[in-house]
Chains A and B, each alone.
Chain A
Amino acid sequence: MLSDRAPLSLKIAAAAGLLFLHLPILLIFAYAFTTEEKSFAWPPPGLTLKWFAVTWNRPDVWEALSLSVKVASISTVIAMFLGTLCAAAVSRTRFFGRETVSLLVILPIALPGVVTGIALRSAFSIADIPFSTWTIILGHATFCVVIVYNNAVARFRRTSGSLIEASMDLGANMFQTLRHVILPNIATALVVGGMLAFALSFDEVIVTTFTAGQQQTLPIWMLEELVRPRERPVTNVVAMVVVLVTMLPILGAYYLTRGTDQVAGQGK
Chain B
Amino acid sequence: MSAVVFDHVSRHFGAVRAVDGVSLAIEEGEFFAMLGPSGSGKTTCLRLIAGFERPTGGDIRIFGEQVADLPPYKRHVNTVFQDYALFPHLNVRDNVAYGLMIAGQGKKQRHKAADEALEMVRLGGYGARKPSELSGGQRQRVALARALVNKPRVLLLDEPLGALDLKLREQMQEELKGLQRQLGITFVFVTHDQGEALSMADRVAVFNDGKIIQVGAPEDIYFRPDVPFVADFVGSSNVLPADLVARLTGQSRPAAIRPERLKLAETGPLSAQVIGLSFLGLTTRVSFQAEGTRLTALLPQDAPRPAKGDTVALTWAEDDLHLMRAGA
Chain A residues in contact with chain B, CB under 8 A? Answer: 160, 162-163, 165-173, 176, 180-181, 184-185, 262, 264-268
Contacts and interface: CB of A to CB of B under 8 A. Distances in A.
Query: In the complex, which range does the number of interface residues on chain B fall in?
Result: 20 to 34
Given A165-B52, A185-B88, A268 B98 contact: no
A173 B71 contact: yes
B279 interface: no
A185 B89 CA distance: 7
Contacts of B51: 168-169
Given A165-B81, A268-B163, A170 B99 contact: yes
A170 B98 contact: yes
Nearest to B74: A171
Interface of B: 50-52, 71-73, 77-79, 81-89, 98-99, 101-103, 131-132, 136, 139, 146-147, 150, 163
Nearest to A181: B87
A163 B71 contact: no
Contacts of B102: 170-172, 176, 180
A56 B171 CA distance: 73
Contacts of A184: 89
A160 B131 CA distance: 14
B46 to A, nearest CB: 11
17 contacts: A162-B83, A163-B85, A166-B85, A168-B52, A168-B73, A169-B77, A171-B150, A172-B98, A180-B101, A180-B102, A185-B88, A262-B132, A265-B83, A267-B88, A267-B131, A268-B83, A268-B163
A166 B71 contact: no
Contacts of B131: 267
Nearest to B79: A169
A160 B73 contact: no
A12 to B, nearest CB: 43
B111 to A, nearest CB: 16
A180 B90 CA distance: 10
Contacts of B103: 171
Nearest to A161: B85
Given A267-B83, A267-B86, A169 B136 contact: no
Contacts of B150: 170-171
Given A167-B98, A170-B78, A171-B150, A265 B85 contact: yes
A168 B71 contact: yes
B78 A169 contact: yes
Given A166-B81, A168-B73, 18 more contacts: A168-B72, A169-B50, A169-B52, A170-B73, A170-B78, A171-B73, A171-B102, A171-B150, A173-B71, A173-B73, A180-B102, A181-B87, A185-B87, A185-B88, A262-B88, A265-B88, A267-B86, A268-B84
Nearest to A173: B73
Contacts of A172: 73, 98, 102
A185 B99 CA distance: 18
Nearest to A164: B85
A163 B83 CA distance: 10
A160 B73 CA distance: 19
A267 B98 contact: no
Given A171-B102, A267-B139, A166 B52 contact: no
Nearest to A185: B89
A264 B78 contact: no
Contacts of B136: 268
